Chains A and B, each alone.
Chain A
Amino acid sequence: MIVAHGRGYLCPSQSFDGQVHSVFAKSVNITTSLSEAPWVSVLDSSLPATPTSFQCSLAGLGNPTAKLRVGDGAFMRGGIIRFKPSRMVSVNTLGARSWQPEPELIQLDHPLLHRNLRAVEQALLAHIGNKTGQPISALEDYLKLSGLTVPARLGALPEALFDNLGKGHGLTPAGDDFLLGVLAAAYGLRPLWPQAEQVVQRLAAPGLFNAYQTTSVSAHYLELALAGHFSQPVQRLVFHLLQTADATQVQQALSATLAIGASSGADTSAGIVYAIGQLLPHWI
């Protein structure tokens, strides 16, 4: 039995019936019968914690793909997730500690934000340059590299960002992660910046997001993002970017985000930088 040490704040604690949606070397995704928690992930501790994931050490399990298959039954009873037909795997979530999202924005310090944004943008561009071997000097270069398009003004046509969905490789394509970053920034600024609120409203409008445009795993994370929920490193980055004076903390938060996936973290960070730049242009 694997013991989960961490849980997301949207994870269910009682019983559910469900099915294995997908299995990877370090993660298992489950769809459930609960309307309030239709998706649950079991992730290895090395992956970023999400609001719907249980974190545990999957090392003792060997490779989950050898033990579980898509469509297998998944059942939580008394905090323990068991699978059918494979009885070799079970996850005990009883003692898992919940992580809480960072507190909301309470004050907007424009000079601080300006400084942080500059630093993050530079570090991000350097990172992308290193990774691709082609130094880039502006966010536009990154967008061209990734084949993403953005509206001339975010506030005018945020919906255009949905055109990028499914663009790029991997479980979560670049276009999706970029949009996710935009949403993270918009939600972060929302309590104190009306334009951010408007962008959120428009992007989260019902019927706009078509899950079929992209992978189902990515669709899940986008659905969470449209509702204002983000993985722990992403929402930490936004928090520090907007509120923290200590440059080291901001830098660390950026590093943690950049470490996500192969390029997911970089794409998300780009979306954050782009959105903040768009929403607060006269300060940038």
Chain B
Amino acid sequence: MATQHKVFKNLYQDSVSLMQISSRLDQMEGIEGASVVMGTEANLARIADAGFGEGIVAKPNDLVIAVQGNTEACEQAIIAAEEALTAKPDDSGTGDSAAQPLTSFALGLEQNPEANLALISVPGEYAAAEAIKALNLGMNVMMFSDNVSIADERRIKLLAVEKNLMVMGPDCGTAIVNGIPLGFANVVRRGAIGVVAASGTGLQEATCRIHQLGEGVSQALGTGGHDLHQDVGGLSMLHGLQALADDPQTDVIVLISKPPAQAIADKILARAAAIAKPVVVNFLGQGSPDVNPEGVFFAGSLAHSAEVAVALYRKQPVPEARQSSESDKHQAADLASRLTPQQRYIRGVFAGGTFCYEAQIIASGYGIQAFSNTPSKGNSPLVDLWHSQGHTIVDLGDDDFTQGRPHPMIDPTLRNQRLLQEAQDPQTAVLLFDLVLGYGASEQPLAELLTVIGQAQQQAAPPVMIAHVCGTDADPQSRQQIQQALTDAGVQLAESNADAAHLAARLVAGL
């Protein structure tokens, strides 16, 4: 084994730089050891002990490089060291602090002092803490995160009440605040109708319908799916209701939820009655009470609540929920005429949970009892989630189907498969489904859907396909194009989920 050394006169480097160089040399192939030191007596003695060679002549201000290894490698190493020592200093510093990542709401707020809404979609076990932090920092909160305990939800909402801040969620994926769509929401005209909804797709349907009717939305606030639970007490809905009551831009208010516990419903209706502005209430499936409180109007469906609100805003007579007309019956019979005697059942395949629920309720009005993974009152749980039986109306956005998978609004693969499956079942008379547009939803919802529909239609006796497209002409997807494509593919398009459900149920009931 060879050793080599070189002395650089009057070349000072601090000990750290020296170590860096020696470390680099050490790693070179063929080098057994390297030492880079200033030429003090002690250092020279040390490297002599280490076997780098005696008799190195150097002064304390000289820099010594000593290497051990095979001859060629040693030469290379000395050259490399010389280059490193005489190289220009590395000037990669920017001089300014590079932007440091914002890892928390507190840091985010420091950098963006005007921030006023914290949008939380972190894993459920951390979401409650983030919400409390955001509230303590003085921001309103929207929580897409789910799997937050009822106790934590209550705690978060009580804190929000204390600070007069808004909490939308947990489990709130949809809102439109100050005209900006948040989460899975549609681009809707700004206007004078405010919405507070415990259901995401319910909010979407109502706001889209308002837009389609030519009016606009001031604010659309989500409360999260559990807000009207007994132990949460509707805190978000009450806060939202009051905020809209105080909002000079809001003239009419719409409240949407699945039927709450009686005590909660009473509280909300009492508050609604006390407000000077008209309030439209849709507690899905719950009919209007015997006595209507002053200024409170009950709607029969999501779309109907929009229609009522628009009429109230325009100071026009409030329309009744749509009933069957003669032409409706003709349309149903006409469509039914193409079916075989075997085709008897309604199969609903939904991405929107509230659409699934509303369809069930409407169908039950026609005496249709269905199976579902989220059965409404009077319906039964579906035994095998992956195979329909009799009348079946499923919510593919429910946890049962979305464990470890994206929601069907984002990735419709599972939904499309189920549609085809139902279409190919000889017992399916009507295939009923929704297509939800807007931010967050798939930007290309048609491609595979049309393929599936095409396949279905190619059968000898395809079922009747009925759908509605929840969206507006201002959404990122082109609603008009989509509606046209579906119609061309032979799908019966309805204006709303309620209309679609009515048509489907009417048809099946008449078989």
A interface residue numbers (CB < 8 A to B): 14-15, 17, 73, 75-80, 82-84, 87, 90
Q: How many residues of B contact A (CB 8 A)?
A: 14
At the interface with chain A, which of B34-42, B105-113, B174-182, B391-399? B105-113
**Complex contact A77–B116 (CB within 8 A):** yes
Interface residues of B in 99-151 (CB under 8 A from A): 109-111, 113-116, 135-139
**Complex contact A75–B136 (CB within 8 A):** no
Q: Which residue of A lies closest to B138 (CB)?
A: A78
**Complex contact A73–B114 (CB within 8 A):** yes
- Select A73's contact among B113, B136, B138, B139, beta carbons within 8 Å: B113
Bound together, the chains give a CA A90 to CA B136 distance in angstroms of 16
Q: Which residue of B lies closest to A87 (CB)?
A: B110
A87 and B111 contact, Cβ closer than 8 Å, known pairs A14-B163, A14-B164, A15-B116:
yes
Name which of B110, B113, B114, B116 has the most chain A CB atoms within 10 A of its CB.
B113
Which chain A residues lie closer than 8 Å to B116 at the CB level?
A: 15, 77
Which chain B residues lie closer than 8 Å to A15 at the CB level?
A: 116, 138
Interface residues of B in 142-167 (CB under 8 A from A): 163-164
CB distance from A90 to the nearest CB of B (A): 8
| Contact digits for B54-74, partner A, Cβ 8 Å, 1 yes 0 no | 000000000000000000000
- Select A84's contact among B114, B137, B138, B164, beta carbons within 8 Å: B114
CB distance from B390 to the nearest CB of A (A): 54
A/B interface sample: 18 pairs, CB < 8 A: A14-B138, A73-B113, A76-B138, A77-B113, A77-B137, A77-B138, A78-B136, A78-B139, A78-B163, A80-B137, A80-B138, A82-B110, A82-B113, A83-B113, A84-B113, A87-B111, A87-B113, A90-B110
Q: Which residue of A lies closest to B114 (CB)?
A: A75
Q: Which residue of B lies closest to A77 (CB)?
A: B138
| Contact digits for B391-420, partner A, Cβ 8 Å, 1 yes 0 no | 000000000000000000000000000000
Bound together, the chains give a CA A76 to CA B114 distance in angstroms of 8
Q: Is the interface of A mostly helix, strand, loop or mixed?
A: strand
**Complex contact A75–B163 (CB within 8 A):** no
CB distance from A272 to the nearest CB of B (A): 39
B interface residue numbers (CB < 8 A to A): 109-111, 113-116, 135-139, 163-164
**Complex contact B114–A17 (CB within 8 A):** yes
**Complex contact B139–A77 (CB within 8 A):** yes
Bound together, the chains give a CA A14 to CA B113 distance in angstroms of 14
Bound together, the chains give a CA A14 to CA B138 distance in angstroms of 7
Bound together, the chains give a CA A34 to CA B269 distance in angstroms of 31
Which chain B residues lie closer than 8 Å to A78 at the CB level?
A: 135-139, 163
Which chain A residues lie closer than 8 Å to B111 at the CB level?
A: 87
Bound together, the chains give a CA A90 to CA B135 distance in angstroms of 18
Which chain A residues lie closer than 8 Å to B114 at the CB level?
A: 17, 73, 75, 84
Q: Which residue of A lies closest to B139 (CB)?
A: A77
CB distance from A61 to the nearest CB of B (A): 17
**Complex contact A75–B139 (CB within 8 A):** no
Q: Which residue of A lies closest to B112 (CB)?
A: A84
Bound together, the chains give a CA A17 to CA B116 distance in angstroms of 10
CB distance from B52 to the nearest CB of A (A): 54
Which chain B residues lie closer than 8 Å to A90 at the CB level?
A: 110
CB distance from B221 to the nearest CB of A (A): 17
Bound together, the chains give a CA A79 to CA B113 distance in angstroms of 12
Bound together, the chains give a CA A75 to CA B164 distance in angstroms of 17
Which chain B residues lie closer than 8 Å to A87 at the CB level?
A: 110-111, 113
Q: Which residue of B lies closest to A15 (CB)?
A: B138
CB distance from A40 to the nearest CB of B (A): 15
Bound together, the chains give a CA A262 to CA B466 distance in angstroms of 81
Bound together, the chains give a CA A78 to CA B138 distance in angstroms of 3
Bound together, the chains give a CA A150 to CA B111 distance in angstroms of 53
Q: A76-B138, A79-B138, A80-B138 are in contact. List 16 more A-B contacts (CB 8 A).
A: A14-B138, A15-B116, A15-B138, A17-B114, A75-B113, A77-B109, A77-B137, A78-B135, A78-B136, A78-B138, A80-B137, A82-B109, A82-B113, A83-B113, A87-B110, A87-B111
**Complex contact B115–A77 (CB within 8 A):** yes
CB distance from A213 to the nearest CB of B (A): 32
Q: Which residue of A lies closest to B134 (CB)?
A: A78
CB distance from B206 to the nearest CB of A (A): 29
Which chain B residues lie closer than 8 Å to A14 at the CB level?
A: 138, 163-164
Bound together, the chains give a CA A84 to CA B115 distance in angstroms of 11
CB distance from A233 to the nearest CB of B (A): 32
Which chain A residues lie closer than 8 Å to B138 at the CB level?
A: 14-15, 76-80
Q: Which residue of B lies closest to A75 (CB)?
A: B113
Bound together, the chains give a CA A80 to CA B109 distance in angstroms of 11
Bound together, the chains give a CA A17 to CA B112 distance in angstroms of 12
Which chain A residues lie closer than 8 Å to B135 at the CB level?
A: 78
Which chain A residues lie closer than 8 Å to B139 at the CB level?
A: 77-78
CB distance from A33 to the nearest CB of B (A): 11
Bound together, the chains give a CA A76 to CA B139 distance in angstroms of 10
CB distance from B243 to the nearest CB of A (A): 13
CB distance from B112 to the nearest CB of A (A): 8
Which chain B residues lie closer than 8 Å to A80 at the CB level?
A: 137-138
Name which of A73, A78, A87 has the most chain B CB atoms within 10 A of its CB.
A78
Q: Which residue of A lies closest to B137 (CB)?
A: A78
Bound together, the chains give a CA A17 to CA B114 distance in angstroms of 7
CB distance from A34 to the nearest CB of B (A): 13
Closest 3 CB pairs of A and B: A78-B138, A82-B113, A77-B138
CB distance from B106 to the nearest CB of A (A): 10
Which chain A residues lie closer than 8 Å to B110 at the CB level?
A: 82, 87, 90
Bound together, the chains give a CA A66 to CA B385 distance in angstroms of 68
Name which of B109, B115, B135, B138 has the most chain A CB atoms within 10 A of its CB.
B138
Bound together, the chains give a CA A77 to CA B116 distance in angstroms of 8
Bound together, the chains give a CA A241 to CA B480 distance in angstroms of 77
Which chain B residues lie closer than 8 Å to A84 at the CB level?
A: 113-114
Which chain B residues lie closer than 8 Å to A76 at the CB level?
A: 138
CB distance from A204 to the nearest CB of B (A): 26
Bound together, the chains give a CA A90 to CA B109 distance in angstroms of 12
Which chain B residues lie closer than 8 Å to A82 at the CB level?
A: 109-110, 113
Bound together, the chains give a CA A200 to CA B163 distance in angstroms of 37
Bound together, the chains give a CA A78 to CA B137 distance in angstroms of 5
CB distance from B111 to the nearest CB of A (A): 7
